[in-house]
Homo-oligomer: A and B are copies of this chain.
Amino acid sequence: MSDVAYDRLYDDITGGKLQPNERLIELDLARELGISRAAVRNALIRLEQEGLVKREPNRGARVRLVSEEEAVEILEARMALECVAVRHAALNRTPEDIDELRALLSKMEDHLKRGDLLAASDVNGQFHRRLIEIANHSTISRLLKMLNSQLIRFQYRTILTPGRPPSSLAEHRAIFEAVAAGDPDAAEKAMRTHLSRVAKALKQTAAEARSP
């Protein structure tokens, strides 16, 4: 029963239905989901550990607001971990994996040609997630799931940056080529340049948001 609350809240927070800093009142959520308050409480504790929720003693829980600085921090950590993951992916990948990644890449290309940036961002997420599955590294996988869930709000912003879509596609293609070739060094390098450019784009949009 606690899982119900967890899944629901997870989706609502990462999906944007719940705004940052919005209060999460145990009783309300319990009534809404038709479960007990204790179950909601447990879900909130789990979400707090994952960094999606902030709980303060006697003051309840809120959707955690991820500051720009923190977003950069998270991206930095993610870069370090995802570079290791992509190395493993380059060594583990099967021919089927390569086909799947290629398919995702061409799907992404289609969306970009059609100008559908949100769909492209979606495929982008799938591409990265698939790479991590291929890496088959449970620890890194666990950590990256945490980090990514906190970044979703920012993630779909970066691809909206002017001029970003075509280079993003090229960067992903470079990652794909290296993984397909089974070259961990090249894969890591490609991933590193990709994510550092995402970070750069993020900083840029953040700066623009501050002084428009």
Q: Which A residues have a C-beta under 8 Å from some C-beta of B? A: 38, 41-42, 45-46, 49-51, 70, 73-74, 76-77, 79-81, 83-84, 137-140, 142-143, 147
Contacts and interface: CB of A to CB of B under 8 A. Distances in A.
A28 B98 CA distance: 52
Contacts of A76: 84, 137, 139-140
Contact of A77 (B46, B74, B143): B143
Given A42-B45, A45-B45, A45-B46, A139 B73 contact: yes
A77 B84 contact: yes
A26 to B, nearest CB: 13
A74 to B, nearest CB: 5
A45 B50 CA distance: 12
A73 B140 contact: yes
B49 A139 contact: no
A117 to B, nearest CB: 27
Nearest to A79: B84
* Residue among A50, A70, A84 with max Cβ neighbours from chain B (10 Å): A84
Nearest to A83: B80
A138 B70 contact: yes
A38 to B, nearest CB: 7
B73 A138 contact: yes
A82 to B, nearest CB: 9
A68 to B, nearest CB: 13
Contacts of A45: 42, 45-46
18 contacts: A38-B38, A41-B42, A45-B45, A49-B49, A70-B139, A73-B138, A73-B139, A76-B84, A76-B137, A76-B140, A77-B81, A77-B139, A77-B140, A79-B84, A80-B81, A81-B81, A139-B147, A143-B143
* Residue among A46, A49, A140 with max Cβ neighbours from chain B (10 Å): A49
A46 B139 CA distance: 17
A147 B80 CA distance: 15
Contacts of A38: 38
A142 B77 CA distance: 11
